[in-house]
Amino acid sequence: MRPEGTLAVIACDDGSEYSVKSCVNASLLEVNAQLQSKPNLLIEMPATQGYLALCQPLPSEKDPAAQLTSLEEYRQLRFPS
């Protein structure tokens, strides 16, 4: 996964869709299959059973903290113009 890549697209009952960016260089380990049959877990249990995916950051020669998405970069990814 790349920081600018889309991890998931969440489709709502009202027809709206939201793209969730990965925001990290990582390997995708697992996708939460429960969300297919129980999408409300995203709202009802976001910190436990409502996760989207498990990711493992890729090893790097750089300082891991330096690779984090800045607040401004996050805002640009989250709210594109």
DSSP string, 15-76: S-EEEEE--S-EEEEEE-THHHH-TTHHHHSTTTTT--EEEEEPP-SS-GGGGSPPHHHHHH
> Of 5-9, 10-14, 63-67, which range is least confident?
63-67
Which residues does 3 contact at the CB level (< 8 Å), separation at least 6?
21, 22, 23, 24, 25, 69, 73, 77
Sequence spans of domains, the chain: 6-76
Structure confidence at residue 73 (pLDDT): 87
- Residue-wise pLDDT for 19-59, tens only, equals 998 888 888 999 999 999 999 999 999 889 999 999 888 87
Q: If you search the block for the tokens 């429960």, which residue do you land on?
A: 34
